[in-house]
Amino acid sequence: MDKPYSRTTPADALVIFGVTGDLAHKMIFPALYAMARRGALDFSVVGVAGRQWSPMQLREQVTDSIMQAGKIDDRDALEHLLSRFQYVSGDYNDPDTFKALKLALGEARHPAHYLAIPPVLFATVIKGIAASGLADGARVIVEKPFGRDLASARELNRIALSVFAEDAIFRIDHYLGKEAIMNILYFRFANSFLEPIWNRNNVASVQITLAEDFGVKGRGAFYESAGCLRDVIQNHLFQIVALLAMEPPAYQGYGAVHCEKAKIFQAMRPLLPDDVVRGQYEGYRKEPGVAKDSDVETFCALRLFIDSWRWEGVPWYLRSGKCLATTAAEVVVKLKPPPQQLFDDSRPADGLSNYLRFRLSPNSAVALAARVKRAGKEFVGDQHELYLLDEQLAEEKPYERLLSDAMAGDGALFSREDAIEAAWAAVDPVLETHHRAHAYKPGSWGPEQADALIAADGGWHNPITVKDEK
């Protein structure tokens, strides 16, 4: 007799819709191989797509993916993975495709359906899963973007919830699976010394930068439909904001964390056009698939306020862009200066006397900055950073961690419906109503107008390269 299904019942099969696509090739196959290497691949895998592939073609695709991601250092694990694969080809609009899928699943009763397909196909596939009886005891894994505005996010959630329970919907944002992002939550609530200063009385501002030194890499057509605000800030950077700003969870459990994060998104003051600076790197319009008169932003900086008791009046500055000076992600929590200036140099010109810095990538670190007196009779000092955590080796890759958690029914690192809709509500006013994008030179830190946005708070703290940092 089958055991009753619950949200923590492990999935006994993985169905990958869009198995012949880029996402499966770049992310999902290497994650499955990593799971096989550590003996955690104990379920069957059924790939579904429209292409007429033979089993050998699928094996070649999986093997090629793993080789491009690194190296094949465990042939037994690779063979184990390949032996688990089946392939179903067919049109997602054709009920026979789902009948063939049901046949391929065999004795599996709790499949996880991974929608590695364009969002426009989500509704079609979810309805096909429901009509074929493959939603009972199952869960669905949805890849971002979760809509492109508030209205589409609500519609996507409505369709998913018409078939699956909320705790059976796993919305993947790979940023939440990164070790450095998880450490923000741990560092905040595992250490008591932060709580007395983690509020509007002591924090002057917060900066979050996610910079990339490369362009759209041939994905111009995709970027034309998204832009930096939708692609990076509304999800990745907002998730970081929530982890930094949330109240302590009421109990130990991911449900409590989700509730507190959702409250932060709900407390975000809706953006106005003057809160946002949009930029476009010179040469973007020459990319394939990009309109000659495109106004899509490849850079976005914004000033955000959270209308809560803890954060009232504290500005949060977020920026992200392509073709910037380096590739790095970093958070700087700037603390207010001492109330009385006893020493002439205790308030440096750059405004960064004391701060906490979370380095998220490419290396991981937490650092606390303070001023220390120089040797001698004069009361002058220098800025020094105390490193509290450096990069950890042999960590799980985000997709391996998230896929493992989804298969196990652990929803801690996934996004919830109310949080997604609240995040869209904060940016919705400026998705269509905004100032034109300003041109900026590749290799710079974006348009100079972004500097004016934060000038009153001492300017941006530009991440330095790993080489310079060491």
Question: What is the C-alpha R_g of the chain?
Answer: 24
Element (H, E) at 142: strand 139-143
Closest CA to 258 of 409, 143, 418, 141: 418
Nearest 5°: the CA angle 70, 68, 170 is 85
In one-letter notation, the amino acid at residue 382 is: D
Q: Are 296 and 215 in contact (CB under 8 A)?
A: no
Element (H, E) at 46: strand 44-49
Sheet with 203-211, side-by-side order of all strands: 381-389, 365-373, 355-361, 328-335, 203-211, 316-321, 299-304, 276-281, 438-440
Residues belonging to the active site: 236
Closest CA to 440 of 297, 321, 327, 279: 279
**Pairing relation of β-strands 299-304 and 13-17?**
unpaired
Nearest 5°: the CA angle 13, 19, 22 is 135
- Three-state DSSP at 251 gives coil
